């Protein structure tokens, strides 16, 4: 059974802080993704990675960066958090050549 875990369920940070969101998957998946979910906007892709140390921008990468040093771990970094980054952040993984993505439970980030 695929398991995608995210380091925190809820997080409260102050404007200007550097924020790290961690995601770990246990199925040896090559691909990992970070989305943000906002009411009325659905899921929007921030960044994804198809291999260790490889990353590509998604649809809304501004204000975010990512790191993938190990295959099972994908980190989302907010260099200087802003209030408009208050959102639910979802991590997902998939196997190379397969379309199905497996999602973690999400991290609800509030930036005050």
Partner 1 sequence: QQQVKQSPQSLIVQKGGISIINCAYENTAFDYFPWYQQFPGKGPALLIAIRPDVSEKKEGRFTISFNKSAKQFSLHIMDSQPGDSATYFCAASMDSAGTASKLTFGTGTRLQVTL
Q: Applying CB under 8 A, which residues contact partner 1?
A: 4, 30-31, 33, 35, 40-45, 48-50, 56, 58, 90, 92, 94, 96, 98-106
Work out how close the CB of 29 gets to partner 1 at its nearest, in angstroms, rounded to a whole number: 10
Among residues 17 and 50, whose Cβ is nearest to partner 1?
Answer: 50
Among residues 32 and 81, whose Cβ is nearest to partner 1?
Answer: 32
H or E segment to which residue 90 belongs: strand 87-94
Work out how close the CB of 93 gets to partner 1 at its nearest, in angstroms, rounded to a whole number: 10
Close Cβ partners of 99 (under 8 Å, ≥ 6 residues apart): none
Give which of 92, 91, 104, 89 is closest to 10, Cα–Cα.
89
Residues in a beta bridge with 54: 51
């Amino acid at each position: 059974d695929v398991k995608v875990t995210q380091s925190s369920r809820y997080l409260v940070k102050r404007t200007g802080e550097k924020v790290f969101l961690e995601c770990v998957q246990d199925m040896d998946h090559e691909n990992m993704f970070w989305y943000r979910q906002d009411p009325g906007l659905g899921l929007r892709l921030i960044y994804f990675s198809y291999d260790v140390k490889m990353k590509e921008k998604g649809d809304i990468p501004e204000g975010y960066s990512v790191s993938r040093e190990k295959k099972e771990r994908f980190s989302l970094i907010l260099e200087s958090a802003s209030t408009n980054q208050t959102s639910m952040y979802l991590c997902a993984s998939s196997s190379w050549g397969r379309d199905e993505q497996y999602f973690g439970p999400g991290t609800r980030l509030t930036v005050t």
